[in-house]
């Protein structure tokens, strides 16, 4: 089968490229659905009293695994399904609460081909609310170098994330 979904080729990416901004209005449902989808039963992600009185936060807040899912969605919206994550690093600086409008911004900060011929893009992503950075994500994403390349086929010594 020929996959007709968008395919971002490595050669089309240069350092400094900006990814389209993603905006999303966070609700209590966003937080609770994300926590339960990631099997995170901890009360600060569904119980406002616990979050306020025990954690000292103003409300329940997005959990880290679900933020990871948001970052992944953001990156593969850009790359298409051929894009394969190699590595991500998150740094949590603040919480995201119901009522917040979160924005994901991304900029390409590295373009490289490794010694196996795998094409890589480094992307610096920030999750912001009203201009405040809440979480940063540095991602390394493998992209096909031509129409015949598929990073998902790489295994063993040919996959160096």
Partner 1 sequence: MTTTALPDDVAALIGVPQYEETGEFPVERGYIWTTCSSVENGNPLYWDDEVADALTDGPVAPPTMVSVWFRPHHWAPGRQKPALPLQVHFDLKERLGLPEAVMTENTIVFHEPVRPGDVLRTHQVLRSVSGEKTTKLGTGRFWVIDVEYRNQRDDLVAVESYTGFGYRRSAS
Per-residue interface string for the shown chain with partner 1, residues 19-48, x marking contact by CB under 8 A: -----x-----x--xx-xxxxxx-------
From candidates 82, 96, 106, 123, binder to partner 1 by CB under 8 A: 82
Given the rule CB under 8 A, which of 12-20, 69-77, 105-113, 124-132 is the region that contacts partner 1? 69-77
Given the rule CB under 8 A, which of 8-16, 61-69, 105-113, 125-133 is the region that contacts partner 1? 61-69
**Tokens describing residue 142:** 């493998």
Residue 103 has a CB neighbour count (10 Å cut-off) of 16
From candidates 16, 18, 49, 56, binder to partner 1 by CB under 8 A: 56
Nearer to partner 1, 2 or 16 (CB): 2
Verify binding: residue 85, partner 1, rule CB under 8 A.
Answer: yes
Bridge partners (DSSP) listed for residue 28: none
Q: Which long-range contacts (CB under 8 A, 24 or more apart) does 63-66 make?
A: 63/31, 63/34, 63/35, 63/38, 64/90, 64/92, 65/34, 65/38, 65/40, 66/34, 66/35, 66/37, 66/38, 66/40
Of 63, 71, 76, nearest in space to 37 by CA:
63
**CA distances, 125 to each of 22, 44, 109, 129, 156 (Å):** 11, 25, 10, 13, 28
Nearer to partner 1, 64 or 113 (CB): 64
Verify binding: residue 103, partner 1, rule CB under 8 A.
Answer: no
The footprint of partner 1 (CB under 8 A) covers: 1-3, 5, 24, 30, 33-34, 36-41, 54-56, 64-66, 68-73, 76-77, 81-82, 84-92, 150, 152, 155, 159, 161
């Amino acid at each position: 089968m020929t996959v007709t979904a968008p395919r971002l080729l490595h050669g089309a990416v240069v350092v400094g490229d900006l990814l389209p901004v993603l905006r999303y209005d966070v609700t209590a449902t966003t937080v609770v659905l994300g926590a339960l989808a990631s099997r995170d039963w901890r009360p600060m992600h569904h119980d406002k009293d616990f979050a306020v009185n025990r954690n000292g936060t103003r409300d329940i807040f997005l959990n880290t695994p679900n933020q990871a899912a948001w970052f992944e969605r953001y990156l593969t919206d850009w790359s298409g399904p051929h894009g394969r994550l190699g590595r991500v690093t998150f740094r949590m600086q603040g919480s995201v609460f119901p009522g917040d409008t979160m924005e994901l911004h991304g900029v390409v900060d590295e373009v490289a081909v490794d010694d196996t011929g795998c094409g890589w893009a480094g992307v610096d992503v920030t999750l912001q609310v009203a201009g405040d950075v809440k979480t940063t994500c540095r991602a390394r994403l493998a992209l096909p170098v031509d129409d015949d390349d598929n990073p998902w086929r790489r295994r063993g010594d040919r996959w160096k994330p």
